Amino acid sequence: MGNFRAAITGVGYTDLSKRSGRSVLALATEACSAAIKDAGLTHDDVDGVSSFMVMHDSVHSQAVSTALALPTLRYSLDVDLGGEAPCHLVTQAAAAVSTGQARHVVVFRALNGRSGPRVGTMQFHGMGAQFRYPIGYDAYLMYCGMWAQRFLHETGQTELDLGAVAVSQRAYAQANERAYRREPLDLDSYLASPIVVDPYRSSDCTVEVDGACAVVVSALDAARDLPNPPAVIAAGAYRAGARHGLDIGDHLLWDDYTRNYTSILRDELFAAAGLVPGDVQFAEIYDCFTSTVLMGLEGLGLAERGGAGELVRSGATSLGGRLPVNTHGGLLAEGYLHGMNTVAEAALQVQGRAGHRQVPLHDVCAVTSGALMDGSALLLTSDR
């Protein structure tokens, strides 16, 4: 949570594909270079690089700094986190430029997530593994699936609510030339898609891709001299739930399945920005699975407890609705760049540069990273 003088000034992507045929270093370098150019900067202006990875599936920021031929690297972080990282790293970059550690930090995530180590196959070797593995409870979507099942049960929501998220986001993807999944999806075809782990159908799950995404975080005074309108970092917050970390299965120990990290960091996040949930005009919610969108909307106070599905089914979160959500199609449709692209989409929208999918009111955006009991969030605003 912060008191920053910082903004996102540029974003960059590679193509997203099933098989890039390229090294992760090449992907990272291309996305970072594109973001730097998009910000109106040259490589000589950038003095910070940060990133995150799991399973050694990416490259270090120093290697990318070298590949970019940055003249000076004053700030660098390589963080051992997954989907909870993007907003957290943008927050750290905001703190860095606010305290003079750097002027322009490029934050990236790069992975061959489909042709290389697949995130969906990642296992967690915490203390609980000895109990989980013998019963075949060993993959990330199983943890999230059980959590989602209980969340639906406790809040009275159903597969129709999950399906509404998938359908709404797929419609956005059709206005996003970058999206990997662009074929139309309606509720019937959603319900016809195969169950992977109950309650998840294939359409509830993000799509693994090869690719990279980067954003440039700049000191606010520098941002104001650049061509794009600054996407001001009004607040950033991170939270890990109590008892988290010894094993990813630890969430089974909590007694309230309807809460996740977004509900825990919400009050601090909004207070730091001097805003309230009602001020949010659109949201980009981390969506490794459809369920996390419902949890995130409720957790942030953008929907009532148990009311997120109804909000989505009403069309309010679709383009033209009163609270557009995951306007790039989300990770579900654009592709799983581990949520870095969720932040980039938020910045593009706040800057008014989202083209066919631009939301009309784009002064205040809530962004999240992460799914369960630890994660991070940002409030991005126009430079008012």
- Round to whole Å and give the CA distance between 31 and 242: 36
Choosing from 143, 238, 261, 336, the catalytic residue is 336
Considering only 54, 122, 240, 316, the residue that binds a second copy (CB under 8 A) is 240
State which of residues 19, 153, 243, 356 lies at the interface with a second copy (CB under 8 A).
243
Q: In angstroms, what CA-CA distances link 339 with 10, 55, 175?
A: 16, 16, 19
Residues in region 358-377 near a second copy by CB under 8 A: 374
Q: Could you give the CA distance from residue 138 to residue 123 in angstroms, rounded to a whole number?
A: 6
- Of 32, 56, 68, which is closest to residue 344 (Cα–Cα)? 32
Q: Which residue has the tokens 């992975």?
A: 111
Please, are residues 111 and 53 in contact by the beta-carbon 8 Å criterion?
yes
Contacts of 165 (CB under 8 A, 6+ apart): 287, 290, 293, 294, 309, 312, 332
State both tokens at 220. 């606010």
| Preceding amide of 230 cis, omega within 30 | no
Active site annotation includes 75? no
Nearer to a second copy, 294 or 380 (CB): 380
Stretch that binds a second copy, among 9-17, 233-241, 300-308, 323-331 (CB under 8 A): 233-241
Residues 258-297 that bind a second copy (CB under 8 A): 265, 268, 272
Max distance between CA atoms of the chain, in angstroms, equals 58
The residue (of 74 and 313) whose beta carbon lies closer to a second copy is 74
N-terminal to C-terminal alpha carbon distance within the chain: 20
Nearest approach, Cβ of residue 292 and a second copy (Å): 19
Q: With respect to a second copy, which residue has the nearer C-beta, 122 or 240?
A: 240
* 99 is a site residue for a second copy (CB under 8 A): yes
Query: DSSP secondary-structure letter at 122?
Result: -
Which residue, 159 or 374, is less far from a second copy as judged by CB? 374
Q: Which one among 215, 237, 293, 319 touches a second copy, defined by CB under 8 A?
A: 237
**Minimum distance from residue 73 beta carbon to a second copy (Å):** 4
Is 286 assigned a catalytic role?
yes
Asked if 136 interacts with a second copy (CB under 8 A), we say no
Chain residues binding a second copy by CB under 8 A are: 1-4, 53, 60-67, 69-81, 91-92, 94-96, 98-101, 236-246, 250, 265, 268, 272, 374
Q: Which residues are catalytic?
A: 286, 336
